[in-house]
Each structure stands twice: as C-alpha cells, then as structure tokens.
Chain A
Amino acid sequence: RKEVEQDPGPFNVPEGATVAFNCTYSNSASQSFFWYRQDCRKEPKLLMSVYSSGNEDGRFTAQLNRASQYISLLIRDSKLSDSATYLCVVNRVGGGADGLTFGKGTHLIIQP
C-alpha cells in the first residue's frame, strides 16, 4: 500500500462549482499534513496546512480525520486559476526530519 494515496483525476469542473479531493495515508504515526499546489512544470507551493480541527482559508477548506487516516480539500466557487495539480502531503515520522511524503497528486481542470 502506498504511503499517501490520491485519485489522480483529472477532475473536470465548471467554473463556480465546488470540488472536493480526498487523500488517505498509511502511517498512523504521521504528525503533520499539508496540501500543496503544483502548476505545470513549476515547483510545488504550499496551499495550506491541515489541522485536526479543520481549517479554512478563503475558498479552501481542509479536514483531517486521524481515525480514518483521511485528509480532504474542498474548493468553493472554483476559478479558472485553480486549475493545477493538488498534492496531498504527510510528514515523515522521525524526530525533526523535514522529509515529506507526497501523493501523486490530483489534476484539476476548471472549465469556463
């Protein structure tokens, strides 16, 4: 079983719609969780951290379910500029090491 699993998509969504991505992780001792966004042929950029209580940043809402080892990202009122690959990221367990484990990413296409 892969450490972090995501549906690769692509998700084709009309502009203005709400879209949700899910991600599961295998290591129950994982401590930190993130969503990164990656545009074509660019570096990944942090979209948001994911906290157990759930957190929101504008149109983006992230949820974490530790019992089910499940992370989600919800995008409301989607914009054309939201088209990108969204990477689910879990930190590696091992002291302070910052090595992160990435999923393969979910490709999102927002259509006008």
Chain B
Amino acid sequence: DAGVTQSPTHLIKTRGQQVTLRCSPISGHKSVSWYQQVLGQGPQFIFQYYEKEERGRGNFPDRFSARQFPNYSSELNVNALLLGDSALYLCASGQWGSGNTIYFGEGSWLTVV
C-alpha cells in the first residue's frame, strides 16, 4: 500500500510569490494535517482537515491556507512568501481521533530566496 505522498519534493520560490503543496493520504485515511519544520526545530502544526472541513489550526498567519478534496487529498497554499517560510512542509494522514497514529509523507522542501 502506498504511504502518504507529497509533491513537489523540492522547490525554490522568490519572496512575494505563492506556492501550492499537495498531499495524498494513505488509502482509507480521512484526516490530513500539515506541519512546518524549520531547520533545527521540531515540526509545528499548521492545519488539520477531516471530512473536508478544517478541524484545527496552529499559530500561523492568514497567508497560510489549506483545503481538502472529496478524495481526501489536500493542498496547502502559502501566499506572499517570506524568507522565513523556507522549511520542510510535512503532510500527515490518519484516522480521526486524538491519540491515533499519524503517518508522515516525505515532505516538500521549500526554499524562498
């Protein structure tokens, strides 16, 4: 069975541009969450979606948005990119419910120049 898949794996953007990152969850998983991991830090929670609705949001500015599609895949959008947005963006999927194991994709490495 395929794990969580993310695309693109690496990308370089210029300050002020917009980026869209994509994620396909493990088959049967309806919950998708997004994390940002800056070098030297642990992952930081951005969003969680379940059944196409936002169920949780971390402490990130409104430049960050996401959505989940009927097939449970998800997109993360970041507008007006800043140098500080350079990070590994991780998508995770799981079953709904606190304490359930989530599984991470390999991530999308974003560099903003």
Chain A CB within 8 A of B73 CB: no
6 A-B pairs with CB atoms under 8 Å apart are A31-B98, A32-B99, A46-B103, A49-B99, A87-B43, A91-B99
* B8 interface hit (Cβ, 8 Å): no
* Inter-subunit contact A103/B42 (CB<8 Å): yes
Main secondary structure of the interface of A (DSSP, over half): loop
Q: Is the CB of B48 within 8 A of A98?
A: yes
Within 8 A of A (CB), among B93-113: 94, 96-107
Nearest residue, chain B, Cβ from A94: B56
Q: How far is the CB of A1 from chain B (nearest CB, A)?
A: 15
Residues A43 and B104 in contact, CB atoms below 8 Å apart: yes
Quick check: B48 and A87 within 8 Å, CB to CB?
A: no
Contact partners of A76 in chain B: CB under 8 A: none
Chain A residues within 8 Å of B90, by CB = 43-44
Task: Encode contact with B along A8-51: 1 for CB under 8 Å, 0 otherwise.
Answer: 00000000000000000000000110000000001111100100
Total of A-B residue pairs, C-beta within 8 Å: 68
Are the C-beta atoms of B102 and A100 separated by less than 8 Å? yes
Which parts of A64-112 form the interface with B (CB within 8 Å)?
87, 91-92, 94-105
Known: A92-B56, A98-B100, A99-B45. A42 touches B94 (CB 8 A): no
**A46: chain B residues within 8 A (beta carbon):** 101-103
Provide the bound-state CA to CA distance between A102 and B105, in Å: 16
Nearest-CB distance from B53 to chain A (Å)?
11
Q: A46-B101, A91-B98 are in contact. Are A100 and B45 (CB under 8 A)?
A: yes
Pick from B42, B44, B98, B101: contact of A97, CB under 8 Å: B98
- With A44-B90, A98-B48 as contacts: A32 and B98 at CB distance below 8 Å: yes
Residues of A within 8 A of B56 (CB): 92, 94, 97-99
Indicate if B68 sits at the interface (CB-CB under 8 A). no
Residue of A nearest to B101 (CB): A46
B35 to chain A, nearest CB (A): 8
Q: A43-B90, A95-B98, A97-B55 are in contact. Are A102 and B43 (CB under 8 A)?
A: yes
